[in-house]
Structure 1
């Protein structure tokens, strides 16, 4: 059985373990059902997620020209403290920016390879944590716009990490942390503008991933360079497919690539 389509990040369902789905234009694959099966992934072409053209992908699934033009790839996406919609100030498209920035946002702690701080729209909880491969997470602050979340994250980054070590996360070489204690420890560093939005009482969310075998030495698959890869799927964590030979494939970082996927 062979399927073909443009890669976008896998859709997820919060269950135990997490359920993963790969969505193509004409196909819908339950990836959990492929665990233990041998799969061939083959690169076909590029397809920018914005213009749809067969042009090399630059970042985030977009070709270079789209990346520097469309609001979905503006700097405030990765750096929420640069958001300006609350000031009625346009960056690339004020209507779009208001729609995304002027909604409830969460500042959270997640433990994937270590405890890190992050920002996401409230509507993306717990999806964001799943995508990062976090086995536990907790909300710290809920604010009414992206800017407040951004400045809170910046303030907390001086006292806790903000990056995930993807190799450590995939090897499951992790330590359980008391995120409630971390939340209380970091409370004093929240900016004055966001202090009133601190979440006083909540518990951490625990996440289980569908992994039969964790890689010992994860080796990231570059499907453009290799053109084709065949391996036995033994797990899914974050947005990574994990194969028996320790090869791992980050679906999200390959958005905008058209691939064929054959189940042998």
Structure 2
């Protein structure tokens, strides 16, 4: 079977195990069905997710000019505390920013390689946790806009990490922690503006990834350096494909790359 199209982050359905889908313009591929089979990935060209042109991808699936122009790559995306739509203040496109920022957001704790704090739109739970490869997660606060979530995350970063070690996550080098205990421990550090949004009575969400074999070491596939790769798919975790030879491929990190995929 041959598939061709521009890479975007895999779509997911939470289940036991999680289901992963590569979605192209005119086709889709259930990646779970490719487990144990040989995959060939061939880089064909670039296709910016904004302008659609064959220009080198700079960041987040966008060419350099689009990255600095599209509202989908504003600074507030990576740094929610910079959100200004609640002040009726535009960054790049106020209508888009209001749509994205002025909706319920969750500040959460997730455990993928270690316990970390993060922010996501409520509509992206549990998708965000799946994308990070977290095997367990819990909501801390639910606030009405992105700014409040951002300042809460900033405050909590003084007490818990906001980073994930993707290598440890992919090797399944993990340790279970009591996220309810951590949530309660962090409550006193929530900013006053968000304190009333603390979630008192909820439990952990546990996630089950489709992995047949975890690698002992990981080596990352970079399509710029290796435009053609063949390997046996052994697992999917976060947004990574895990192969038998310990190669791992970050699909989300390769957004905007137009590829051919063959399944043997």
Query: Where on the TM-score scale, by shorter chain, does this alignment land: which range?
Result: over 0.9
Instruction: Kindly tell me the number of residue pairs found equivalent between the two proteins.
Output: 264
Partner of 1:164: 164
The within-5 A match list for 1:31-110 is 31-110=31-110
Partner of 1:225: 225
Q: Secondary structure at the match of 2:262?
A: strand
Partner of 2:114: 114
Partner of 1:176: 176
- Ranges in structure 1 where 5+ consecutive residues have no aligned partner: none
The within-5 A match list for 1:3-42 is 3-42=3-42
For 2:85 and 2:24, the matched residues in 1 are separated by 33
Structure 1 runs of 4+ aligned residues shifted over 2 Å read none
Partner of 1:256: 256
Report the Cα offset of residue 26 of structure 1.
1.3
TM-score after normalising by structure 2? 1.00
Q: Give CA-to-partner distance per residue, 1:125-152, whole Å, 9 cap, x none.
A: 0000000000000000000000000000
Q: Give CA-to-partner distance per residue, 1:7-61, whole Å, 9 cap, x none.
A: 0000000101100000011111010000000010000000000000000000000
Report the Cα offset of residue 224 of structure 1.
1.8
- Ranges in structure 2 where 5+ consecutive residues have no aligned partner: none
Partner of 2:143: 143
For 1:26 and 1:88, the matched residues in 2 are separated by 38
What is the CA RMSD across the aligned residues, in angstroms? 0.4
For 2:54 and 2:28, the matched residues in 1 are separated by 23
Partner of 2:203: 203
Q: Secondary structure at the match of 1:160?
A: coil
Q: Secondary structure at the match of 2:159?
A: coil
For 2:237 and 2:173, the matched residues in 1 are separated by 13
Q: Give CA-to-partner distance per residue, 1:53-91, whole Å, 9 cap, x none.
A: 000000000000000011100000000000000000001
For 1:27 and 1:262, the matched residues in 2 are separated by 14
For 1:132 and 1:53, the matched residues in 2 are separated by 29
Partner of 2:237: 237
For 1:26 and 1:222, the matched residues in 2 are separated by 25
For 1:107 and 1:147, the matched residues in 2 are separated by 11
For 1:103 and 1:27, the matched residues in 2 are separated by 31
Report the Cα offset of residue 2 of structure 1.
1.0
Q: Give CA-to-partner distance per residue, 1:158-203, whole Å, 9 cap, x none.
A: 0000000000000000000000000000000000000000000100
TM-score after normalising by structure 1? 1.00
Q: Give CA-to-partner distance per residue, 1:223-245, whole Å, 9 cap, x none.
A: 12111000000000000000000
